[in-house]
Structure 1
Amino acid sequence: MPTPTIRHRTLKLAGGCTAVLLALSACSSSDSGSSAGSAAASASGGASSAASASAGASGTAANVTGTVTVFAAASLKEAFTTIGTQFEAAHPGTKVVFNFAGSDALAASIVNGAPADVFAAASPATMKTVTDKGDAVGTPQTFVRNQLAIATVPGKPQHIATLQDLAEPGLKVVLCAKEVPCGAAAQKALAAGNVQVTPVSYEQDVKDALTEVELQEADASLVYQTDVKSAAGKVDGVNFAEAASAINDYPIATLTHAPNSAGAQAFVAQVESAEGQKVLSDAGFLSA
């Protein structure tokens, strides 16, 4: 069986920001686009209540201005883009810039000096990289949880119905790299089911693993339930019992050297508000 390849599409971007400490615009050019303002304008309907929720962390909405830079796990892309739009509507004149990538790569960028205001990780282990260096303010708070599912080519042509089916000979399976949260969770789930899988490749974040199935370059991949939901129509999802043994907590923190500390606090408040939590719940995340 061929040796699995390890891909570095997203890692190259985050690592590049680390190595040369590029200007903020370079980091924010990851797969998120630029600001949250490009998301659907419908999110602005809750602007008044969102402003009230955010004001508790920053004094008043009027105190929050400028750009807020958020480094967030790739699996948060859709939900956080919507929350960013809500935030901008609640705080006129602000702009949220996202860098979505693998949590380990983002943590490495932060501890090496990349400018950011907020870090939202897909596991406590990757957040610990930041807290151990004193780069997070206070104790990071878990704001949601996430659970794995199997993403398959639409119609399940390989008849994948269980985790054990991923071990079938000839099946092309893609996994996240073991050092990233989705990869660590996948290894726990496979161990719980006593399933041995030799993937055709290891991907550096969960969106890359999902894309391989969307493009039908792979038959199946272990991703999060939220990713299966976001790719509805492009992949089919299969839930499996072993996923319960590998649920990931998602912590969020403001950063010690945040260029916009007031904006950082307000963004975290928006994520933790009723409006923010509804967006995350609608995306398929589990409550903390």
Structure 2
Amino acid sequence: MKALRAAALASLLTIGATGCGGGTASPAGSTPAGTVTVFAAASLTETFTTIGKQYESAHPGTRVSFNFAGSSALATQINQGAPADVFASAAPKNMATVTDAGNAAGAPVTFAKNQLVITVTKGNPKKIAGPADLSKPGLKVALCAEAVPCGAAAKTALEAAGVKLMPVTLEQDVKAALSKVKLGEVDASLVYRTDAKVASADVDAVEFPESAKAVNEYPIVALKNAKNPAEAQGFIDYVRSADGTKVLTEAGFQAP
């Protein structure tokens, strides 16, 4: 009798679980059906968050999950097996790290470009007018590490300007370099125009012509081990659509 009751209870629990879940329950830690996981450069945080919400609205039942960080760190995570459907890099070099390892599902496509500016404390109290001023004695400057796209671009732009300087800190992504200025920990940093625009209430941006020598291209690709390849391609198509392009250009990105 006890065995029969236990069997009946197990049957009821199974029926109840199926009814509440609307289907077979996902294993712990797995990606829910309809989720597309996007690994994207830190400089895409605001634009991709907006694009993600728009994509979800246009595709009911789909959820876009983001991991924003420096492109070099993201490429390493992907090559080490981190679960992701899409990779959007701030430079082709970091994308090549993934494609060369055989972890892309196809050929990357460029969807935007970005350019550097010098960010300074609001009001520009140090009167920084260009790269040459960054080497003034006592001036504190933050740069991205050279492994990060914004750091590689900064190196190129400074070399084009003939300027050598010793930054007080090398950051792992553009948001961290920008934060140093916002917090008053440094006098200036080299970041993307788009990031400076987002933070315009807290910092001022100084344009300089040498930044044209270091324009970064942003490639995007679906990944080989994507758990949701259909939605991965769908998200990429939306990023490149008129709606996605509008979000990017309004934020200050250049057309590819």
Divergent runs of 4+, >3 A: none
Query: Where do 1:123-272 residues align within 5 Å?
Result: 123-272=91-240
Unaligned runs of 5+ in 1: 1-22, 26-64
Larger radius of gyration: 2
Matches within 5 A, 1:92-103: 92-103=60-71
1:115 counterpart = 2:83: yes
Does residue 1:68 correspond to 2:68, yes or no?
Answer: no
Q: For 2:225 and 2:105, locate their aligned partners in 1 and report how far apart those are by CA, in whole Å.
A: 9
1:232 Cα offset (Å): 1.2
Residue 80 (structure 1) aligns with? 48
**Are 2:241 and 1:273 aligned?**
yes
Per-residue CA distance 1:55-107 (angstroms, 9 max, x = gap): xxxxxxxxxx6111000000000000000000000111111110000000000
1:41-56 pair list within 5 angstroms:
none
Distance in 2 (CA, whole Å) between partners of 1:169 and 1:190 is 17
Partner-residue secondary structure (3-state), 2:205: strand
Deviation at 1:24, TM superposition (A): 7.1
Pairs within 5 Å for 1:27-38: none
Checking the alignment, whether the CA contact within 8 Å between 1:71 and 1:116 is kept in structure 2 is yes
Question: Does the residue aligned with 1:116 lie in a helix, a strand or coil?
Answer: coil
1:71 is paired with a residue of what secondary structure?
strand
Matched letter for residue 281 of structure 1: T
The count of aligned residue pairs is: 228
* TM-score of the superposed pair, with normalisation by structure 2: 0.87
Query: Are 1:24 and 1:115, in contact at CA under 8 Å, matched by a contact in 2?
Result: no
* Deviation larger for 130-139 or 113-122: 130-139
With normalisation by structure 1, the TM-score equals 0.78
Check conservation: 1:73, 1:103, Cα contact below 8 A.
yes
Q: Residue type matched to 2:69 in 1? A: A
Amino acid paired to 2:154: A
Matched-pair identity in %: 59
Give the partner amino acid of 1:104.
S
